[in-house]
Amino acid sequence: MIATTRANEAAWCTFVVADALYGVELERVQEVLRAQPITRVPLAAPALVGLLNLRGRIVPAVDLRTVLGLPPRRPGTRRGEQDSGLVVVRGADGPVALVVDAIADVRRAIEAPAAAQRAIPPAREASDPRFACAVPLPERLLVVLDLDHTLELAFTRPAADSGPEAAAEAPAGDRS
């Protein structure tokens, strides 16, 4: 009964990435912005598209397409500058801007049909830790992100790195 009450009180800030509706808990959202200039960071994790100046505070910008394993934006779109919006969330170490294709709206669990008001795990991605749950809405499915895990993945560099550090660690006979 407690879980049902909590699900009915849930609210999410929603946005579109690659034609799918995603959301994060509304209480974790600091603000929603139009596209802002983003400064690239060399040798950053693949999902970290750069940094933006948010009223004097430097905030990392994360491309959700990369974190979600989706194809990049269409050619000709400069990442971080021509994007439709940014959702600034409260991460464990401060604010983080999520780069999204389009900003949607605030959705509440009460908007789901009465028979489907409890959050259910996505059937296809049930074991994927990036997703907290899926909420069936009248017009489409809302996939709610596990924000902490999503941000953790965003700032993780791939293990198989072919950069200068990897070459320095390779045995002398393996260098070409």
**Considering the entire predicted model, what is its pTM?**
0.75
Predicted local confidence at residue 37, as pLDDT: 92
* Residue extents of the structural domains in the chain: 2-158
- pLDDT beyond 70 at 50: yes
Q: What is the CATH number of domain 2-158?
A: 2.40.50.180
146 vs 170 pLDDT, higher one: 146
Average pLDDT in the 36-44 region?
Answer: 92
What percent of the chain is predicted at pLDDT more than 90? 54
- pLDDT beyond 50 at 96: yes
Average pLDDT in the 114-123 region?
Answer: 48
Residue type, 10: A
Predicted local confidence at residue 45, as pLDDT: 92
SS (H, E, C) the chain: CHHHHHHHHCEEEEEEECCEEEEEEHHHEEEEECCCCCECCCCCCCCEEEEEEECCEEEEEEEHHHHCCCCCCCCCCCCCCCCCEEEEEEECCEEEEEEECEEEEEEEHHHCCHHHCCCECCCCCCCCCCEEEEEECCCCEEEEECHHHHHHHHCCCCCCCCCHHHHHHCCHHHCC
- pLDDT beyond 80 at 83: no
